[in-house]
């Protein structure tokens, strides 16, 4: 991530961590959401920072930003003002969209749909999407990112120009990560990791299958 996006993510982790820091904070926030009949009482049911990237916490914080801001203000939290900062929120909206797409990609490669044959094709498809997304952002179109698009339509003080270069740069870097060769070594997988589906043996088969090209 760029410094701009990483800063927003660090802020998000602190906000989520604060509300989850004690049972009282969580209970008070859940009660507040319940009192105003908000859908997101379970906003912070995440067990680790890692879950933040897999789940929909980013989207839920964005959707419930007014309520989160009220709660943080009542607690005199230093980051409460972020929830009404258009420049901060527009970056949060983009990250929510891109992590949602990455989450969908991740899930599509698991289970019966994640075969050794299908995985490279899914990566190729995602890379093509990223190229298209970058081109659209460069052209000033945000419809590929629904939360970002909605936020920009609703927020008069926010503009794509505020984040256009940041998004383009991030998509370029992300696409570059997908260009890296498939260099996982079977011996690096722990016995615990490989025992579930005999992954070590499967990985060796995939890496020696000349019909597969992982350097797409």
Q: What is the distance between the alpha carbons of residues 213 and 216, in angstroms, rounded to a whole number?
A: 6
Contact (Cβ atoms closer than 8 angstroms) between residue 58 and residue 16: no
Tokens of 183: 């260099």
Question: What are the boundaries of each domain within the chain?
Answer: 3-84, 93-180
User: Which stretches within 49-160 are classed as H helix?
Assistant: 49-54, 57-63, 65-74, 86-108, 118-138, 146-154
Contact (Cβ atoms closer than 8 angstroms) between residue 31 and residue 42: no
**Contacts of range 44-50, beta carbons closer than 8 Å, 24 or more positions apart:** 44/16, 44/19, 44/20, 46/16, 46/20, 49/13
Contact (Cβ atoms closer than 8 angstroms) between residue 2 and residue 170: yes
Contact (Cβ atoms closer than 8 angstroms) between residue 189 and residue 199: yes
* Secondary structure of residue 208 in the 3-state scheme: coil
Residue 142 has a CB neighbour count (10 Å cut-off) of: 24
Which of the residues in the chain have pLDDT under 70?
22-24, 26, 28, 31-55, 110-117, 180-216
Q: What is the distance between the alpha carbons of residues 149 and 142, in angstroms, rounded to a whole number?
A: 5
Contact (Cβ atoms closer than 8 angstroms) between residue 82 and residue 32: no
Tokens of 68: 């989160």
Q: What is the distance between the alpha carbons of residues 24 and 74, in angstroms, rounded to a whole number?
A: 14
Q: What is the pLDDT of residue 193?
A: 43
Q: What is the pLDDT of residue 202?
A: 57
Contact (Cβ atoms closer than 8 angstroms) between residue 155 and residue 90: yes
Nearest CA to 158 out of 71, 67, 92 is that of 92
Q: What is the pLDDT of residue 192?
A: 46
Q: What is the pLDDT of residues 184-213, one digit of tens each?
A: 554 555 554 444 445 555 555 555 554 445
- Residues composing the chain: 216
For 142, how many CA atoms within 13 A lie in the half-sphere containing its CB?
22
């Amino acid at each position: 991530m760029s410094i701009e996006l990483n800063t927003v993510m660090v802020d998000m982790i602190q906000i989520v961590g604060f509300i989850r820091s004690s049972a009282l904070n969580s209970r008070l926030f859940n009660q507040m959401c319940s009192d105003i009949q908000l859908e997101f009482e379970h906003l912070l049911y995440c067990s680790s920072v890692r879950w933040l990237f897999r789940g929909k916490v980013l989207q839920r914080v964005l959707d419930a930003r007014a309520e989160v801001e009220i709660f943080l203000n009542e607690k005199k939290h230093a980051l409460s003002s972020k929830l009404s900062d258009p420049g901060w929120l527009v970056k949060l909206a983009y990250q929510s969209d891109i992590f949602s797409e990455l989450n969908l990609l991740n899930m599509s490669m698991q289970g019966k749909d994640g075969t050794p044959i299908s995985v490279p094709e899914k990566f190729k498809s995602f890379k093509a999407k990223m190229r298209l997304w970058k081109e659209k952002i460069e052209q000033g179109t945000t419809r590929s990112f629904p939360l970002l698009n909605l936020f920009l339509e609703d927020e008069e003080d926010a503009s794509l120009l505020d984040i256009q270069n940041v998004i383009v740069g991030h998509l370029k870097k992300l696409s570059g990560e997908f260009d890296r060769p498939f260099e996982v070594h079977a011996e690096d997988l722990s016995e615990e990791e490989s025992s579930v589906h005999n992954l070590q043996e499967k990985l060796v088969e995939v890496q020696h299958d000349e019909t597969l090209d992982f350097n797409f």
